[in-house]
Structure 1
Amino acid sequence: MNRTVRKMLVVTKPGDAAAKAVRTAMTGFLTERGVPFETCEHRQDSCGEAERLRGPFDLAVVLGGDGTFIGAARRLLRLEIPLMGVNLGRVGFLTQLERDHWRPWLARVLDQGFRAAHRLVLAYRVERGGEPVHAGLAVNELVVSRGDLARLIHLGVTCDGVAVSSLRADGLIVSTPMGSSAYGASAGGPLVHAGLAALCVTPVCPFLNGFKPLVLPPDVVLGVRVEEQAGEVNVTEDGQGLVRLMPGDEVVVEKSPTDLLVADLGPDAYFAKLKKHGFLIER
Structure 2
Amino acid sequence: MAEVRFQRIGLVLHPQRPHAWGLAEAVAEYLQRIGREPILLPAETLDRVEIVAGWDLAITFGGDGLVLRVARYAAPAGVPILGINLGRVGFLTEIQPEEWLEQLSRVWEGDYWVERRLMLEACWIREDQRQGPFYALNDVVIGRMGLGRIVRVRVEIDGRYFTTYIGDGLIVATPTGSTAYALAAGGPILPPELKNIVLVPIAPHLSLDRAVVLDEGVRLTLTVHTEGKAALTIDGAGDEPIAEGDRVEIAAAPFSARFIRLRDRSYFYRLLATRLRRMVADE
Is the shorter-chain TM-score for this pair beyond 0.5, marking a shared fold? yes
Aligned equivalent of 1:166, options 148, 164, 167 = 164
Going from structure 1 to structure 2, the CA distance change for 1:46 and 1:195 (only over 3 Å counts) comes to closer
Deviation at 1:47, TM superposition (A): 5.7
Amino acid at match of 1:194: P
Deviation at 1:279, TM superposition (A): 6.8
Indicate the SS of the match to 2:75: helix
Paired residue for 1:143?
141
Aligned runs of 1:82-231 on 2, under 5 Å?
Answer: 82-208=80-206, 210-227=208-225, 229-231=226-228
Paired residue for 2:244?
247
Give the structure-1-normalised TM-score. 0.90
Measured in 1, the distance between the counterparts of 2:190 and 2:169 equals: 20
Indicate the SS of the match to 2:206: helix
Deviation at 1:199, TM superposition (A): 0.6
Give the structure-2-normalised TM-score. 0.90
Going from structure 1 to structure 2, the CA distance change for 1:196 and 1:47 (only over 3 Å counts) comes to same
Paired residue for 2:231?
234
Deviation at 1:5, TM superposition (A): 2.7
Could you list the runs of 5+ residues in structure 1 that have no partner in the other structure? none
Measured in 2, the distance between the counterparts of 1:35 and 1:212 equals: 50
Measured in 2, the distance between the counterparts of 1:182 and 1:279 equals: 16
Paired residue for 1:263?
260
Deviations 1:229-261 (A, max 9, x none): 121011100111122111111111001112111
Q: Is the 8 A contact 2:144 2:151 kept in 1?
A: yes
Aligned length: 277
Q: Is the 8 A contact 1:165 1:211 kept in 2?
A: no
Measured in 1, the distance between the counterparts of 2:179 and 2:247 equals: 26
Paired residue for 2:77?
79
Amino acid at match of 1:75: Y
Q: Identity over aligned residues, as a percent?
A: 28
Deviation at 1:168, TM superposition (A): 0.9
Measured in 2, the distance between the counterparts of 1:49 and 1:121 equals: 15
Deviation at 1:14, TM superposition (A): 2.5
Measured in 2, the distance between the counterparts of 1:268 and 1:16 equals: 29
Measured in 2, the distance between the counterparts of 1:278 and 1:144 equals: 27
Paired residue for 2:13?
12
